[in-house]
Structure 1
């Protein structure tokens, strides 16, 4: 996951957290799919509204969305947005 995101966005920072342990017993967890939180800062998001940023992350992860990921929380910002708040 990290490699795909780094290749697609050349992020200034990237945190990927596996939250799957917090969802034991949940339907997606029973199927072996994970729950993740991504915090990504990249100039690639400049000029994009939040929905477009999320779609870009989903596209970068491609097949992982069907085979490895059940739930994904995304925080996607530009470097300027991150430094402002």
Structure 2
């Protein structure tokens, strides 16, 4: 894993203590995209954490964006988020 995805993963692990944390770098699929010119990457994250229990999708996404806020300014151009509570895994 390259430096950026690993940095994203480390922050998510420290903040959410997730049961599962996946970070996929999809930047290559967006080569030539205007936003990619700024140097920010495209990432997809999947988190399963008790922190999300009882919270709606909007709040979960805000929590993830808050965790990565300073990286959103330069390192991350686009972020797709799947944030689940443990109780939702088998549904």
TM score, norm. by length of structure 2: 0.89
* Alpha-carbon distance between aligned partners in 1 of 2:86 and 2:65, rounded to the nearest angstrom: 20
Instruction: Could you tell me which runs of 5 or more consecutive residues in structure 2 were left unpaired when the two chains were aligned.
Output: 1-7
State how 1:1-80 maps to structure 2 within 5 Å.
Answer: 1-80=8-87
Deviation at 1:80, TM superposition (A): 1.2
RMSD: 0.7
Instruction: Could you tell me which runs of 5 or more consecutive residues in structure 1 were left unpaired when the two chains were aligned.
Output: none
- Runs of 4+ in structure 1 displaced over 4 angstroms? none
